[in-house]
Amino acid sequence: MNTLLAFLFVLGVLVFVHELGHFLAARRLGVRVLTFSLGFGPKLLKIRRGDTEYCVSAIPLGGYVKMAGENPDDPRTGRPDEFLSRTKWERFQILIMGPVMNVVLAVVVMAVVLAQGAEVPVYQDQPPVIGAVAAGSPAERAGIQRGDRIVSVAGDQVETWDDLFIAIGTRADRDVAVGLVRNGQMQTVSVRPQPETRYEIGNIGVLPDINPIVASVIAGEPAERAGLKAGDVVLAVNGERMVTRTQLIEAISRNGGQEIELTVRREGQDVRIGATPEQRGDRGMLGLYVTEPTRRFDPNAFEAIQLSIERNIEFSGLIFKTLGGLFVGDTSPRQLMGPVAIAQLSGESAQAGWIALFTLMASISLNLGLLNLLPIPVLDGGHILIMAVEGIARRDFSMAVKEKMLLAGFVLLMMLMVTVIYNDLTRISWIERLMPWRN
């Protein structure tokens, strides 16, 4: 139920804002709006104010604004309050305002999220210098080593760990050229990121040059008895280098009842400490709390807005790059998500708190705004393209030509919907088990 409510909240806000953009632009230019609907299909709730019927419809996967004289086959009187009676420039303003409102919403919501501040990993915006390579990982097979500085992925420069994770994450199961610097020499290796999580995010198994930190120890527990102290930096367990908090927890968990040797850095000195995790249930525990090196991020209102604009510009570039990757084969169609996956993410984000939910909302709003600008008939961008071509040709296309263009756009959109819904269904384990070709 929480997943459904979170999904309806996110989708409802995004659709409302998008259609509100069309509605306000139409009203400002004097175009009569007949219907403002959230959802499609049978109308569940409706109320009329002036010329406009406001309603909530049964299928909550979109919405629409119906304007007088919007389509060539609509009854038309030639009055100036009909959509097709307005100039192409005025119609462009009405069409563009839906996507623009989604982009503005993404900037505003992200700015609100950023203004709350956060603890962020210290390595996030640092150059991607390899601190560790996971055993058996694609990076190890490609010969990537600790100390290598990755400078490019598939020809694109990467300046930070964030850049690297994004570049690799969108190329699962694809051979990728990775440029790196080792001992001052430039090298290029081919790596094939392995897909991870149900969204098949690419990972090559490289980790930053950091170590987990003991935040505190619990009185009377094995960690305290062994002599571990808050502030100890854990370098290794049984000689295996520790980089992340998760890695350390797993190393302790799988050694319940067995003594392990922890190498920690304390006051600039490396110290070896023997400790025996107690077996509790199916895991070993030492009785300590572990964190990773972080820095506090607290922008003021102006900085939050500026950062939001910068991030949305970066994300926009990534969206277009991902779309381009679908056409040239760099990006797997398996990474596309549909309504089921969005619902799952909405539920998970809602459980994590309003900041996670609003971050997801900002991301989806940006995607919705930009995707609606694609030059595909049926979408806002498709209608804008048709008008632009008509303007260049200095004549309007016939109804038959427009119907063919809209039909082509509809077929393309349906193919996309089939793909994303199939992807969504394969991410549900019990449904995937019913697909023999997936087993």
- 343-to-37, 95, 348, 355 alpha-carbon distances in Å: 21, 27, 9, 17
- Residues whose CB falls within 8 Å of the CB of residue 411, separated by 6 or more in sequence, listed in order: none
Residue found by looking up tokens 């940006």 in the block: 366
Count of Cβ atoms closer than 10 Å to residue 4 Cβ: 12
Residue found by looking up tokens 């010969």 in the block: 143
Count of Cβ atoms closer than 10 Å to residue 120 Cβ: 12
Contact 346, 7 (CB under 8 A): yes
Q: Which of 342, 339, 316, 325 is nearest to 172 (CA)?
A: 325
DSSP assignment, residue 129?
Answer: B
In whole angstroms, give the CA distance from residue 439 to residue 425: 14
Helices (DSSP H) in 116-209: which residue ranges?
138-142, 161-169
In whole angstroms, give the CA distance from residue 345 to residue 364: 11
Contact 212, 245 (CB under 8 A): yes
Does residue 19 carry a catalytic annotation?
yes
**Strand-strand pairing, 206-208 and 201-203:** unpaired
Contact 296, 302 (CB under 8 A): no
Count of Cβ atoms closer than 10 Å to residue 301 Cβ: 11
Q: Which amino acid is at 56?
A: V
36 - beta bridge partners?
A: 54, 65
290 - beta bridge partners?
A: 214
Contact 123, 146 (CB under 8 A): no
- Residues whose CB falls within 8 Å of the CB of residue 48, separated by 6 or more in sequence, listed in order: 54
Catalytic machinery residues: 19
